[in-house]
């Protein structure tokens, strides 16, 4: 009899979640799973909210523009002084050359951001009586405003759940959870709006962002501590 220890093959059977990931999930199944996922995230992150500090639609617009390629925490360190200095859209429009750039320098890409703030401020002052518009169509016409920024403003400043905010965290988690296979933010948004009820989209986005920051990291997700692990196909996780 051979004294060699038997060699065991690595298990190849798929867990239910892996099987879900490898077969085409029907729309109603995906909506049902999404409902369970967000129910668990709601319990895990009861305080999920917009991480940008702002008290008016204009302040939120400015903060969101500044948050591009910058952490929300850094933006929140810059905006208190900024908001005390620039109180209206017209204030941003007529900010002296170089001064606004210095005021937002810490957020990075300050030249392009200052240009967007000046131009957006001018449009808001001239065409909207100084008030940030509250429709997707009008917001998208403002310089420096794309769908992500528009969805942030609509959902958090005006309580309108028209679309779904898609940032780096949300796009990554949506793919990992097999809610989408897309990488283009607009297509990711379409897939998310198809499975998340309109009334819950703003809060659902905050819950995904909180989860991405605290548990579902890009390189080493903490799956053992994940509240939605039983429902997650773990796409892209080794």
As annotated, the active-site residues are: 148, 167
* Whether the Cβ atoms of residue 53 and residue 81 lie closer than 8 Å to each other: no
| CA distance linking residue 205 with residue 211, whole number of Å | 10
| CA distance linking residue 160 with residue 163, whole number of Å | 9
| Residue 134 CA, distance from chain mean position | 19
Tell me, what DSSP letter sits at residue 96?
Answer: P
Q: Give the residue among 66, 87, 96 at the shortest CA–CA distance from 130.
A: 87
Both structure tokens of 150 = 């528009």
| CA distance linking residue 24 with residue 26, whole number of Å | 6
| CA distance linking residue 219 with residue 236, whole number of Å | 10
* CA diameter of the chain: 91
| CA distance linking residue 32 with residue 26, whole number of Å | 10
CA dihedral 33, 36, 41, 42 (to 10 degrees): 140
First-to-last CA distance in the chain?
38
């Amino acid at each position: 009899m051979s004294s060699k220890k038997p060699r065991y093959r690595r298990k190849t059977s798929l867990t239910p979640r892996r099987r879900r990931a490898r077969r085409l999930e029907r729309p109603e199944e995906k909506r049902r799973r999404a409902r369970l996922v967000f129910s668990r995230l709601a319990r895990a992150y009861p305080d999920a909210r917009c991480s940008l500090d702002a008290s008016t639609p204009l302040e939120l617009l400015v903060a969101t523009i500044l948050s591009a390629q910058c952490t929300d925490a850094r933006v929140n360190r810059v905006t208190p002084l900024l908001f005390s200095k620039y109180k209206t859209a017209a204030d941003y429009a007529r900010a002296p050359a170089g001064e606004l750039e210095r005021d937002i320098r810490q957020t990075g890409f300050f030249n392009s951001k200052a240009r967007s703030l000046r131009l957006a401020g001018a449009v808001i002052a001239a065409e909207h009586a100084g008030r940030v518009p509250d429709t997707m169509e009008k917001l998208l016409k403002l310089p420096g405003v794309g769908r992500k920024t528009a969805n942030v403003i609509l959902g958090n400043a005006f309580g309108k759940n028209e679309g779904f905010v898609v940032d780096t965290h949300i796009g990554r988690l949506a793919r990992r959870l097999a809610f989408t296979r897309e990488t283009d933010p607009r297509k990711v948004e379409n897939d998310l709006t198809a499975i998340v009820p309109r009334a819950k989209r703003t809060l659902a986005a905050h819950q995904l962002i909180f989860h991405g920051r605290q548990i579902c990291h890009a390189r080493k997700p903490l799956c053992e501590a994940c509240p939605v692990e039983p429902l997650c196909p773990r796409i892209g996780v080794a």
